Amino acid sequence: MEKRALTKVHDWLWEIPKSYRPDMRVPARVYTDEKMLDSILGDRSLDQLINVATLPGIRGWAIAMPDVHEGYGFPIGGIAAVGSDDGVISPGGIGYDINCGVRLLRSTQTASSLRERLPKLVHSIAREIPSGVGRGGPLRFKKNDLDQILRDGATRAVEIGFGTDEDLDRIESRGAIDGADPKFVSDHARGRGGDQLGTIGSGNHFVEIDRVDRVFDPAFGIEHDQVLILIHTVSRGLGHQVATDFLRVMVGTMQRYGISVPDRELACAPFRSPEGQQYFQAMAAAANFAFANRQIITAGIRRAWKHELGDDLEVIYDVAHNVAKIEKHAVGEVLVHRKGATRAFPGQPVLIPGSMGTASYVLMGQQGSMEQSFGSSCHGAGRVMSRTRARQQVTATELRDRLQKLGIVAEAGSSKGLVEEAPEAYKDVDAVVDVVDRAGLAKKVARLVPIGVIKG
């Protein structure tokens, strides 16, 4: 795509008009500064965003956040709100990582008080929380017990001893999305991921011990030099299979509903159709599995924390960035697809994980997000370098040395997994967050820097 196809709305927002392509139903908008726009134009993110603008029932705009990058079907960092009565639901608009999300915990420690004990603490957490490819956890649930997790999410995890009611008050939707129905989660999905509760997985998922490096706006009880814990993980193999199962269903049934899409990964069904409802109920069940997963991981971290330091940890917030939810906005009731975008309702904590060795952010949702982005913000730094290229450019030894010089203790299941997530593989998270702050979507509360990293 050529830059001249975009119109500058203001310093932080660019628009591709509906007239750009005849099949667009709404304009496409990207929140970015001019420098990052040049980088965004380097891949096919915006072509994919234009494809999203063709979805039946889409309202307002197809929206991309500054961390947008090329995916398949939807770009990562994309938002599409469709009418709940006349719109479609697209599994590709949520992705295979259903309810990939972030949880933030507060400790009573400061970074300076923790320095000596950090290596032992990181090791202790890594022992409590299994990580790595396809890795199952110690918990085994019978079908009925798993069904309860799928229906009630973190609420069920608390009922069986993983946490407290106070935790639930600080989780998006109290850790359980309404409408989940376990009967639409296939045996394949249960076989693939049913034993993975309490595990991080691999790729860009991690547990991070962070130091509050800077406070921009005192909120959520966050103070300078405080130690916080960030958990970034997902519904694991169970969610991957739910997405695969229903993409297959929708590829096979779109024609019956007279729907055609420019990319099969945008396969969809009317939200009110049997296929649309079944996917929504299965997706909600997988999302609940992810909320329960982060709840059970929290319990493991608390055990390690208690053992090493004698302290407890408090949940600050837990929010998804890959999910579809029914919400009321100025255009009426809509189904908001967020694929690599974080809900950012006014006053709500918005958690933005960065890459190892750089920074993560806590933001606060602003009224501007309701007016401009269907209550959404960015979700991370956004990849700019392929994993293959990262492996070619960075060695594990060099990266470990670099992290050590920055005072970061890292435990990774594999060197390959470590180098693929090297900081240079990602955009500048400070610049990404600046855009959403200046555009009025979410304001900066605190900048966090890692001191300990546990990943698969």
Q: Which residues bind another protein (CB under 8 A)?
A: 43, 69-73, 76, 95-97, 132-134, 188, 191-193, 201-203, 237, 240-241, 243-244, 247-248, 251-252, 255, 263-265, 267, 383-389, 414, 416
Nearer to another protein, 48 or 226 (CB): 48
Structure tokens at 44: 């096919």
Nearer to another protein, 47 or 314 (CB): 47
Active-site residues, by number, are: 379
Is the distance from CB of 280 to CB of 286 less than 8 angstroms?
no
Per DSSP, which regions of 20-89 are E strands?
28-31, 62-72, 74-83, 88-89
Cα–Cα distance between 104 and 181 in angstroms, integer?
28
Structure tokens at 139: 């918990």
Nearer to another protein, 211 or 383 (CB): 383
Cα–Cα distance between 46 and 27 in angstroms, integer?
12
CB of 176 to another protein, least distance (A): 24
Is the distance from CB of 266 to CB of 51 less than 8 angstroms?
yes
3-state secondary structure (DSSP) of residue 354: coil
Nearer to another protein, 191 or 347 (CB): 191
CB of 189 to another protein, least distance (A): 8
CA distances from 347 to 168, 220, 323, 343 (A): 18, 10, 20, 11
CB of 247 to another protein, least distance (A): 7
Cα–Cα distance between 246 and 241 in angstroms, integer?
9
Nearer to another protein, 73 or 450 (CB): 73
Going by their DSSP bridges, the two strands 62-72 and 28-31 should be labelled as parallel
CB of 383 to another protein, least distance (A): 5
Q: H helices then E strands: how many in the chain?
A: 14, 19
Cα–Cα distance between 292 and 223 in angstroms, integer?
28
CB of 119 to another protein, least distance (A): 26
